[in-house]
C-alpha cells in the first residue's frame, strides 16, 4: 500500500492519546476534535480518568470510543483499589479500560497476582466494553516473560494485549509485538493487539500493520482487533493522507 493508504488505515485504528502529566480541559477538547476528523474518525481517544466525562460529552453520538487507564503507569498489585478505579471510570462513561498488568509480579514469577488482577477487572468490564491489558514489554524485556505475560492476560480475559504505557524508556518494539501476536494466534481466541508508545511516523505504523497481516492474515488488522496507541503521530498521518510532507503544516489544530 502507498503511504497515504497506510496512513488512512492507521488513522482509523488509532487510539488518539493524551496522558501527559499537564493535560488540561482545553487539550481534551482539541483531542476530541481531532478524533472526529472526517478522514477518520479514529477508533478511540485514550485519556486520564478525570477527563472521561468531558470526552464522553464531546464525542456523544459519534462512533469514537472512550478509553482510560487504570493501575497506570506503575502496575501496582492492589486489586481492590484498581477495581474501585475501574468501576468509577465505567460509571463516568468509559467504553474501554487499559489496565497495566502487575509486571513486577510477572518478573518475579508470581503469576497469581497478575492473573487475579486481570480477572477481577474482566468481571467488571462487560456489555460490549473492552479490556486492554498493558504488559509493559520494555520493562519485562525477556522474550519468555513477554510471552508469559501475553498468555496469562489472554487466558484471564483480555480483549486486547498492549505493549506499553509510553512512560518507560523502551515502549513498543516490533520484536515484542511479534511475540504477542504469536501468543494471540496460538490461543485461538479473538484477541487484539495494541502497540503503543514511540510510534511517530507512517513507516512506524507500516511496520506494525505489516507484522499483524503477516502473522494473523490479510484483513485481520481492523479497529476491532488492532489499535495504535499514540499522541504524536496524528498530524503525520493527516499530512500523508493529504500528500504533504510537513506535519507542522496541518490546519488549525
Q: What's the Rg (C-alpha) of the chain?
A: 17
Average pLDDT over residues 16-39: 97
Q: Distance (Å, rounded) from C-alpha 101 to C-alpha 153?
A: 8
Q: Terminal CA-to-CA distance of the chain, rounded, Å?
A: 27
Average pLDDT over residues 165-185: 98
* Number of C-beta neighbours around residue 126 at 10 A: 9
Helix (H) or strand (E) holding 180: helix 174-187
Residue whose C-alpha cell reads 507512517 in the numeric block: 202
Domain ranges (residues) in the chain: 3-249
* The one catalytic residue among 98, 132, 159, 204: 98
234 three-class SS: helix
Helix (H) or strand (E) holding 15: strand 14-18
* The one catalytic residue among 18, 34, 162, 204: 162
The yes-or-no answer on residue 53 being catalytic is: no
The yes-or-no answer on residue 194 being catalytic is: yes
**Cell numbers describing residue 232:** 504524536
* The one catalytic residue among 34, 85, 194, 204: 194
Is 253 a residue whose pLDDT tops 80? no
Q: Is the preceding peptide bond at 41 cis, omega within 30 degrees of 0?
A: yes
The yes-or-no answer on residue 110 being catalytic is: no
211 three-class SS: helix
- Quick one: pLDDT at residue 247? 55
Confidence of residue 239 (pLDDT cuts 50, 70, 90): very high
Q: What is the pTM of this model?
A: 0.95
Is 249 a residue whose pLDDT tops 60? no
- Quick one: pLDDT at residue 211? 98
pLDDT tens-digit series, residues 59-89: 999 999 999 999 999 999 999 999 999 999 9
Residue whose C-alpha cell reads 516473560 in the numeric block: 145
- Quick one: pLDDT at residue 4? 97
Is 183 a residue whose pLDDT tops 90? yes
Please name which of 136, 164, 135 lies closest in space to residue 152, comparing C-alpha atoms. 135
Is 107 a residue whose pLDDT tops 70? yes
Average pLDDT over residues 17-39: 97
Confidence of residue 220 (pLDDT cuts 50, 70, 90): very high
pLDDT tens-digit series, residues 114-170: 999 999 999 999 989 999 999 999 999 999 999 999 999 999 999 999 999 999 999
Region of residue 81 (left: phi > 0; alpha: psi -120 to 50; beta: else)? alpha
One CATH from 3.30.70.360, 3.90.100.10, 3.20.20.70, 3.30.70.1560 for 3-249: 3.20.20.70
Residue whose C-alpha cell reads 497506570 in the numeric block: 72
| Burial group, residue 169, by CB count within 10 angstroms (0-12, 13-18, 19+) | exposed
Amino acid at each position: 500500500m502507498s503511504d497515504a493508504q497506510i496512513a488512512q488505515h492507521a488513522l482509523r485504528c488509532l487510539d488518539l492519546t493524551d496522558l501527559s502529566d499537564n493535560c488540561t480541559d482545553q487539550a481534551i477538547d482539541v483531542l476530541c476534535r481531532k478524533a472526529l476528523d472526517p478522514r477518520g474518525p479514529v477508533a478511540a481517544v485514550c485519556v486520564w480518568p478525570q477527563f472521561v466525562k468531558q470526552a464522553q460529552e464531546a464525542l456523544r453520538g459519534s462512533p469514537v470510543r472512550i478509553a482510560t487507564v487504570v493501575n497506570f503507569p506503575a502496575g501496582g498489585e492492589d486489586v481492590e483499589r484498581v477495581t474501585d478505579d475501574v468501576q468509577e471510570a465505567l460509571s463516568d462513561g468509559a467504553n474501554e479500560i487499559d489496565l497495566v498488568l502487575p509486571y513486577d509480579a510477572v518478573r518475579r514469577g508470581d503469576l497469581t497476582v497478575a492473573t487475579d488482577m486481570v480477572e477481577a477487572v474482566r468481571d467488571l468490564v462487560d456489555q460490549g466494553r473492552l479490556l486492554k491489558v498493558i504488559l509493559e514489554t520494555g520493562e519485562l524485556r525477556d522474550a519468555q516473560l513477554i510471552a508469559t505475560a501475553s498468555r496469562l492476560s489472554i487466558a484471564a480475559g483480555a480483549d486486547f494485549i498492549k505493549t506499553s504505557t509510553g512512560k518507560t524508556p523502551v515502549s513498543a518494539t516490533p520484536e515484542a509485538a511479534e511475540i504477542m501476536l504469536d501468543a494471540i494466534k496460538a490461543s485461538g481466541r479473538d484477541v487484539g493487539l495494541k502497540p503503543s508508545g514511540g510510534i511517530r511516523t507512517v513507516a512506524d505504523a507500516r511496520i506494525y500493520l505489516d507484522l499483524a497481516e503477516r502473522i494473523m492474515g490479510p484483513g485481520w488488522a481492523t479497529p476491532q482487533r488492532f489499535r495504535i496507541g499514540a499522541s504524536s503521530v496524528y498530524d503525520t498521518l493527516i499530512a500523508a493522507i493529504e500528500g504533504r510532507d510537513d506535519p507542522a503544516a496541518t490546519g488549525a489544530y
